[in-house]
Chains A and B, each alone.
Chain A
């Protein structure tokens, strides 16, 4: 049984297939309207989420399937102390595919070890969030029309940002990718990503603290939120916080064909004045998230629009 727990569970060829299928869906949505008729997706969300859960549910509904599940641990038997394995075994009796979000790292892997239906990791703590990575890849593919030959900037909290780690790992599989890692020293990309991905694969990267110094080099700028509570002291936060807020002024030096991504939710790290700039694609990205999840559900269930 194929699951999607870690971004590396999918080969490059499988990812390309999913992205290609998502592009087909975008071009001809009615053709896919009944592909999942009679199939049920269980969304097991042990912690709250807006975009991910709704995009999974919208994806299944658009494929003609139905959805069931819960949106917080309080409304499941986890509140009574049920194990992840037992919850998954039970849900397996009611659904054809599971999307699970859990605050503990590895919980979706545990679920996948105990069931015979596909399990999709919809975010496990600060660890992995592979469907966000697929969303990001589809957004880059749709807006830049390529996934190679790119200089990709990541800005903000690169230490705890799981979406950043997953996307770095995945983009590292494509040719001629350069990374520009923009963050305060306290929130740099963890050593294991640098050692086991970037250095091991000889992928060029630079680490800088100021967005202004590098913005003109970028094809993609992936923004993330810098949270006050991540800083060791208030003085550093005040000193650095404006460096990580994108506004039209900072964009003046950026390329015309730059694309700005953000996994959302945004707080204040992108000024709302940027939203109307054609380079801002973060709300489109949320929609691509639905299309890529439609493609993923079809792929994991082994369904075909022509069947």
Chain B
């Protein structure tokens, strides 16, 4: 199918179409657009919303391990279920949900290449019926901190000159874009980027139809900027969703062994008192 480093973690739309009735497979839609699932979704797919479902209800953090277990159990996801994520915006939040499932130790995970847009463009069915599955007794693992970076680790990364990948747009990276006319950008008091970070926008990893570029192109994209397979890499964006996409590309499509997603991202760093910032524009 493809010659990515870990091809088992990526499936095409025809694979999904062939597994709609497979009881070992749970298809999950994760979108930025909160009501997109309600307009129609892949038959049998359940909805997991990044904001209302995957976040802690009070503090800035993810849902607890216990709540993750409840979520999976309620969606009929067992520990050995193969969970296939897809969504809007080139799978940003599909990758975000994938990353969080890995954080809590789920093993059988896949991304549907091209996401919701490709499925729809191929004229495949979208339905409004919300499926119900028998609940399970899901057991999550302790959080896997090897894939998550916190701000202190980012500071250390800066000092040790290890690779940081800013996957936002060049305008966000340069500090030019903090506000758009008439509407404040969410979150950050300051614009710019983390010192030493290279700018490789997430969008450079995908083709126009939203599918991932071939491995040789991806390899060139990252290695030409000094982000090498043997390095300890931290990716960040604004809130951690676009960097989940890059985390997935580096870890699963290119086989990088040590990649972390800094989910605090610019909404934390750009508000952090005293945090060093580089800007390309004044």
* A and B assemble together: no
- A binding-site residues for B, Cβ under 8 Å: none
